[in-house]
Structure 1
Amino acid sequence: MSQSASQEALELSSEILTDLELGRLPLSNCFMKASRLARLLGDSDTLRTFQFELEGYPSTPDGIPADIWALAEKANRVYKKKDAKTETVKERCYTNSIESLESAKATAQTRLELTELKPTSISSANPNQFVQAPMANIPERNGAQSTILEMSGRLAARRTFLYGYVLNRHNELRVSSPAENIFGSYSQTIDELLSQYIPEDLIKINSISDNISSKNPEDWANAAHTCRRLLQALADNLYPPTEDKIVGSGKNKKTVKLGPDNYINRLVCFCEENNTSGVFNALVGSHLSFIGNRLNSIFSGVQKGSHSSLTQEEAKRIIIFSYLAVGDILKLAYEAEKSVTTKAEPK
């Protein structure tokens, strides 16, 4: 979700909560506004539920379809009722729309007012005749009161369901919005550096975003592969393939491969040769080691025709680590280049 959409969703959720708390709008209108909130958040299941709340839950002569029943149960519309004849307890579901519940309550309230009990004075011209006062419409009044009580309970349940959903989304957005703002500012800096060092590979960022949003595991693997190609392009630009080098001495001596396929090693060497901070080198090197090992594992799995080893959450983690590592390396490259330029300027 974009930063502007996230901010709009946060403001909308706050507005809906105020509407519910102060009773500023009919409940049906609040559900309409909440439908927009669900749409902004991409919450398709809840959006469908809200549509049924507004239109009524469809049913057939054979009952309510299983998928719709599941939505109604999630919305707390399912209740248990004991059969008077068999004395068995069965689950029931009221399918009325919000507007029909509100209308039924308003109609019952009107009926109750029209049948209001008033004192009646009755007399007869015959002093020996006893006249009984007519019976008030007690059954009708009881029926209206029963309807009001039932509709009020169901509307209260609808209001509680809606309030809980909006409050949860509002709290989530309040937490995520500052993080999105910070990451948005950071990513803008990274994108500017990417356009400076490897502009032809910027399109890979959009490819990663499209693939990770998919529900197809093969697309998640493709997103990871794109990270691999992005890191390879960065390594080729900053530290082109060269001869292997030997580091350490004695028992600690080892050969570091710096060929075309050893892009992680080349990026680590670039960091070590351009930064004096051991903490920075250890941190970036650790990230690159994790990314490289996992990407190589995924690449090997794909060559064998297996995609099942990579989950969407793990693919997201690889993307985030890759993006942050690229940002750190690009900033280091920029500072190193800036330092060389400063030293080269005549005094």
Structure 2
Amino acid sequence: MIDQSSNTRISEARRVAIALLDDLESANVPIDTVLMKAKRLARLMRDSDAQHWLDLETSGYPSTFSISELGTCRKYAAACGRINEAESKFYTQSLPGFEANAESEQLLLAANKPSTSLSKVKDFVEKSATEALMATQLKLQASQKKSYAQSKSIFASLKAGIHNYATDMYLALELGDVAQDIFEAARNEIDTFVRAHCPRAAEKIIAINEQMANGSSESRTAALTSCRRLLMSIADSLFPASEEGWTDSTGKVRKVGAEQYKNRLLAYMDARQQSDGSAAIVESELEFLAARLDAIYEKTCKGVHVDVSLEEARLAVIHTYLFIGEVARFPRDVTGG
């Protein structure tokens, strides 16, 4: 089932990322406006580490700050020079504060810029002032130039950290689009295969989706049990159970009873294999997937509680679904079966 709200959120995040990069690459957008947009992007991406990091960039870093607080955004703060991990040091001033410093130094430098030519200055020195006074003024101007350059450099470096984050988020969104397009193409092939050859398996897919949506550990365990039933349903349609053993292409006899769904799927593909190499890869994938699903199924049958994480369940469901795509690559009517 497609989550329309998630699609809307991702589309909005993409628009914000593009606008944020445009702002960062323009010299006319105030940094506080940039930070607000960056925080919006972080919120849309459900990136709590970035939200905290950007809050600190906006308001400043307290003296009690710990570098570990930055989480996944630690790399951005280190790369731009905000933090020095080797010495456990960091700048406390906010990014808008650094921008104000740079602008103030620039205005001060412009105000103290000599308004006369060198020859006139020379005349003035000769006629009206001492060489010591001129030397003092030139030294002050040099100090102001150095201070401005330092403030500008720090501000530009810290701003680059925000740019790096925005770039990474934009690339992640673009990669997500590519992955979604690839998965969508595979989904169409799998759905067509299931409808044509294993229509009962569709019920199992719906059940898996509902169980994953529940969110509890028990429902995730049930989802993986349903994945096993899904593969059994596919096997029942493609290679019905038999009491007689099946001899594979290597001469090995395998059981193909009701519970031996893995062997029955291999039997179906063995008769239609394109090459020994591809068959070995598919068998390896099935061995890994079946081992995971069978282990959970056996524990569940014994009444043993199985704590399945969201990440483990999600990967198992995806692997199960994509394995059906592997099966779908083998033509149904090669041997009349």
TM-score, with length taken from structure 1: 0.65
Quote the offset at 1:75 in angstroms. 0.7
Question: 2: CA distance between counterparts of 1:66 and 1:171?
Answer: 26
The one-letter code of the counterpart of 2:246 is: V
Question: How big is the alpha-carbon RMSD for the aligned residues of Structure 1 and Structure 2?
Answer: 4.7
Q: Report 1:303-314 matches (<5 A).
A: none
Residue of structure 2 equivalent to 1:258: 257
Equivalence map 1:1-347=2 (5 Å): 9=13, 12-23=16-27, 25-57=29-61, 59=62, 63-65=64-66, 67-68=68-69, 75-76=77-78, 77-79=82-84, 91-118=88-115, 145=145, 147-191=147-191, 194=194, 196-207=199-210, 224-236=224-236, 242-248=241-247, 252=251, 254=253, 256-259=255-258, 261-271=259-269, 276-279=272-275, 284-300=282-298, 318-329=316-327
SS at match of 1:95: coil
Contact 1:20-1:163 at 8 Å conserved across structures:
yes
Report the CA distance shift for 1:183/1:263 in structure 2 as closer, same or farther (over 3 A): same
Q: Does the 8 Å CA contact 2:76/2:165 hold for their aligned counterparts?
A: no
Q: Is the 8 A contact 1:19 1:30 kept in 2?
A: yes
Percent identical among aligned pairs is 24
Question: Equivalents in 2 of 1:72, 1:253: separation in Å?
Answer: 55
Alpha-carbon distance, 1:73 to partner: 7.7
Distance in 2 (alpha carbons) for counterparts of 1:180 and 1:72: 29
Find the counterpart in structure 1 of residue 124 from structure 2: none
Aligned length: 309
Change (3 A) 1:225 1:11: same
Alpha carbons 1:204, 1:230 under 8 Å: kept: no
Question: In 1, distance between residues paired with 2:54 and 2:313?
Answer: 32
| Closer/same/farther in 2, CA of residues 209 and 16 from structure 1, 3 Å limit | farther
Deviation at 1:7, TM superposition (A): 6.1
Answer whether contact 1:16 1:166 (CA < 8 A) is retained: yes
**Superposition deviation, residue 32 in structure 1:** 3.3
SS of the residue aligned with 1:23? coil
CA-CA distance at 1:181 after TM superposition: 0.7
How far is 1:47 from its partner? 3.0
SS at match of 1:320: helix
Once the 2 structures are TM-superposed, how far is the Cα of residue 52 of structure 1 from its aligned partner? Answer: 2.0
User: Could you say which structure has the larger radius of gyration?
Assistant: 1
Letter in 2 for 1:108: E
Q: CA–CA distance in 2 between the matches of 1:188 and 1:5?
A: 24
Sort the Cα spacing of 1:289 and 1:131 in 2 relative to 1 into closer, same or farther, 3 A: closer
Give the conservation status (yes or no) of the 8 Å contact 1:207–1:226.
no
The CA deviation string for residues 195-220 of structure 1, in whole angstroms up to 9 with x for no partner, is 64434323334357558xx8x99887
Partner secondary structure for residue 29 of structure 2:
coil
CA distance in 1, matches of 2:286, 2:13: 36
Alpha-carbon distance in structure 1 between the residues aligned to 2:28 and 2:128: 51
Q: What TM-score comes out, normalization by structure 2 length?
A: 0.66
